[in-house]
Amino acid sequence: MSAHAAEGTPTAAGGPAETSTATSFTTIGVVGLGTMGAGIAEVFARNGYSVVGVERTAELVERGRGHVQHSTDRAVRRGKLSNEDQAALFERLQLSTSLADLKDCDFVVEAVVERLDIKCAVFQQLDEIVRPDTVLATNTSSLSVTQISAATSRPARVLGLHFFNPAPVQQFCEVIRTVVTDPDVVDRVLALARSLGKQPVTVGDKAGFIANALLFGYLNHAVAQYDARYASREDIDAAMRLGCGYPMGPLALLDLIGLDTAYEILDTMYRQGRNRLHAPAPVLKQMVTAGLLGRKTGRGFYTYEAPDSPVVVADGETPLAEATPTLRREVSRIGVVGSGTMATGIVEVLARGGFDVTYVTRSQSKLDAVRAAVTRSMEKAVQRDKLAEADRDSALGRISGATRLEALEAADLVIEAVAEDLAVKKALFENLDEICRSGAILATTTSSLPVIELAAVTARPADVVGMHFFNPAQVMELVEVVSTVATDPAVAETARAVCERVGKHPVSCGDRAGFIVNALLFPYLNDAVRMLEAHYATADDIDTAMKLGCALPMGPFELLDVVGTDVALAIERELFLEFREPGFAPAPLLEHLVTAGYLGQKTGRGFRDHSAA
């Protein structure tokens, strides 16, 4: 199952003549020539193997041939494949409607519909047709490889080889061994995968394996957010793209994968592991029953111009053009409280966006440090031609600093960016409430604390809103605008308008722990830690799976070490405290690392040792 695909296609590298000693496979069979099966057949043929592809009917065979033709035509247009190599590829590709044509294959991979009964039936037939020494593999993304192997008389020669979609592009694959798979067979299939230019990892037979086990819990949680109307589909997807650098938002990705496929994967994982986080969100089953399967039917979470089209068209949920936020309250002077990296970035963003900014720190030395950091950052932008010198000078002229909160008494909007400590923030909001003029908006950049608790200590809870910038604020486009039950809608709209004026993309959500991004991101990270502590896979293999299989910018353990294990633990504790979901309880391994002082890159050791870096 694919997460996301990067463009580009591996080129042939010698083919089986150079790898036959390692793999002892020369003729490959592929059963099922849908999108995935045709892609797998193409990968083998492109890398020099003779391939026999089988489908049930002549019509499906031609459809499979069309998949390969379309994919290789695109590769030729992009200079990734020559016309000669394309012709040679098709010469190595034999397509058939008879499983009997697989009798001389050394290795057969099945890529039929994701149903256990159908796969078992295919393996029973293959077992009677192919040679006793032939290795059989299933491309299942979630079903039990052990159950599939039991349908044969050769379970030791059966394993999983899970390609990711599109197979010609994605570099990652999972090799799944059962408790009875011959280790030599695993080694030979690993060598085979490497001969295709893939980076394989080996895992045991557990529903979802690495990538889907982590990916689909995250996707399911996003569906639950959408179904609860916590945030719009557009805001959920934009939050994960812009806040985490994901290639696609979760709901758009589900439409690409197919909601029926997603439901089956989640249901399989839930029935095997009984993890409530894998229990399919009820709306998924409803949409599948209604035939809203995503891109392939033209409608899923989004509406598409035609079945199988990637082009989204407007529907009843599409935001109206006139919904662009406006300043419902006058905002020209903005205050920022804090002296850390986040506060410094916000000061720069606001000043470059045209606002007069007064920042408040506790001491003159911190005041000078903020000014120096902002100046240095803008100078770098000038040197990279991202900011004109005149604009830099103008922005710096709009910035002033102070060491007393009273300097903010005339501000229209005050954004606090102090330590992520509820007691500290509460005391600050009490002071701001007394100092700031009537009608001024008070905003917090908290990433996980309850905004309503800050609003409740003021006499103006309707004027309090969350504005969660992402670090570094100068670079990251996303801002989560968080409304409490008391926030005046005009205040939230004004906050969004300020964000847009300074070039940020605001998304709206309610006041719940983690908001959109952290509520989706950190349970996924926690699941990865649990997978590691269960010794199912190594940190390196898990990171590889999520980067190459799902095209995420960082693996979970890389990200945890960058964020800080202590920060991650604090956020996960907040999520667990609010939702009381057992699956959100921080993994013991994470607790132990923090207790030991292994906080990630900042201390030189976290999930990995960074001391030598």
| Catalytically active residues, by annotation | 141, 162, 174, 212
CA distance 25 to 53: 16
Least Cα distance to 312 among 259, 257, 230, 255 occurs for 255
Pairwise CA distance, residues 463 & 487, whole Å: 6
**Nearest C-alpha neighbor of 453 from the set 577, 355, 538:** 577
**Beta bridge mates, 297:** none
Encoding tokens for residue 221? 């949680």
How far apart are the C-alpha atoms of 209 and 198, rounded to whole Å? 17
Other beta carbons within 10 angstroms of residue 325's beta carbon come to 18
Burial state string for 70-93 with b = 16 or more CB within 10 A and e = fewer than 16? ebbeebeeeebbeeeebebbeebb
What one-character-per-residue DSSP string does 335-359 give? EEE--SHHHHHHHHHHHHTT-EEEE
Amino acid letter for position 13: A
- Are 528 and 557 in contact by the 8 Å Cβ rule? The answer is yes
DSSP 374-411: HHHHHHHHHHTTSS-HHHHHHHHHTEEEESSGGGGTT-
What spatial distance separates the first Cα and last Cα of the chain, rounded to whole Å? Answer: 35
Distance between CA 112 and CA 523 in Å, rounded? 32
3 state DSSP class of 585? coil
Report the distance separating Cα 581 and Cα 510, nearest Å: 19
Sheet bearing 199-204, strands edge to edge: 93-96, 50-54, 27-31, 107-110, 135-138, 158-163, 172-177, 199-204
CA–CA gap between residue 486 and residue 264 (Å, rounded): 41
Q: How far is CA 421 from CA 343, 462, 518, 567, in A?
A: 15, 22, 17, 12
